[in-house]
Amino acid sequence: MSEGEAVQKLPLFGGAASSTEAEVSIESGLIARVRNGDQDAFAELYRMYAPTIHGVVLSRVPRDDVQDIVQEVFLAAYRSINALRDDNLFGPWVVKIARNRAAEFYRTLKPVEELDENFSGREKRQNEAVEVLRAIRSLSEAYSETLTLRLVEGMTAKEIAQRTGLKPESVRVNLHRGMEMLRERLGITGAKR
């Protein structure tokens, strides 16, 4: 193999598949298997995307209802997998289902009574976490969702972009502006990044 041929095979020059392309091919293969009745393939898709969907839903609905909605999202995706037009866009498709299910949650929500918040110690830390999550949710959906995926689910900006179909530049902007707004809402001033 000549030096020129070897250089062409380097990922920088487009010769080899990038990690995004490799992930897309794995996804497409799993979807084909699901369409042929392979439930293990769907379990793998669930494993890959459950943290993303959890973050998307958590950014919109109360924590106690998140897991049920995540399950509903994957059940809906499984039932309508044949409606997916481009197997390479499973991530953005299932994220859209999650956003729609979260919106449906509020359309069917019944009023509930708030509990008294006289707690101590561990409960105080939990209340602080709830306060931060409430502040995140008070931001626009773009900032709220991106921050939840980053801060709660621990995803990198690159992973968020790959899983949601957002452009990496948009994710970076959403994270930066969202963190500034979050600091402001929480009264954190002069914090260094």
Say which residue, 131 or 101, is predicted with more confidence.
Answer: 101
Q: How confident is the model at residue 114 (pLDDT cuts 50, 70, 90)?
A: low
Q: How confident is the model at residue 69 (pLDDT cuts 50, 70, 90)?
A: very high
Neighbours of 122 (CB within 10 A): 8
pTM of structure: 0.64
Give CA–CA dist 182/132, Å, rounded: 8
- Does position 182 have pLDDT exceeding 70, yes or no? yes
Q: What is the DSSP string of the chain?
A: --HHHHHHTSGGGTSS--HHHHHHHHHHHHHHHHHTT-HHHHHHHHHHHHHHHHHHHHTTS-HHHHHHHHHHHHHHHHHTGGG-S-GGGHHHHHHHHHHHHHHHHHHSPPP-PPPP----THHHHHHHHHHHHHHHHTS-HHHHHHHIIIIIS---HHHHHHHH---HHHHHHHHHHHHHHHHHHHT--S---
Nearest to 65 by CA among 94, 91, 93, 104: 104
Percent over 70 (pLDDT), the chain: 77
Nearest to 163 by CA among 104, 103, 101, 96: 96
At 186 the pLDDT is 86
Neighbours of 8 (CB within 10 A): 13
At 187 the pLDDT is 85
Give CA–CA dist 4/15, Å, rounded: 11
Nearest to 72 by CA among 45, 31, 102, 37: 102
At 5 the pLDDT is 45
Take residue 20 and report the two structure tokens written for it: 């995004």
- Does position 68 have pLDDT exceeding 80, yes or no? yes
- Does position 120 have pLDDT exceeding 80, yes or no? no
153-161 average pLDDT score: 91
Q: How confident is the model at residue 16 (pLDDT cuts 50, 70, 90)?
A: very low
User: What are the tens digits of pLDDT across the range 132-143?
Assistant: 888 898 999 989
Q: For the chain, which domains are there?
A: 16-112 (1.10.1740.10), 116-193 (1.10.10.10)
Give CA–CA dist 172/3, Å, rounded: 37
- Does position 94 have pLDDT exceeding 70, yes or no? yes
At 118 the pLDDT is 52
158-169 average pLDDT score: 92
Burial call 127-146: b when 16+ CB within 10 Å, e when fewer: eeeeebbebbbebeeebbbb
Q: How confident is the model at residue 1 (pLDDT cuts 50, 70, 90)?
A: very low
Say which residue, 13 or 112, is predicted with more confidence.
Answer: 112
- Does position 67 have pLDDT exceeding 50, yes or no? yes
Question: What's the chain's average pLDDT?
Answer: 82
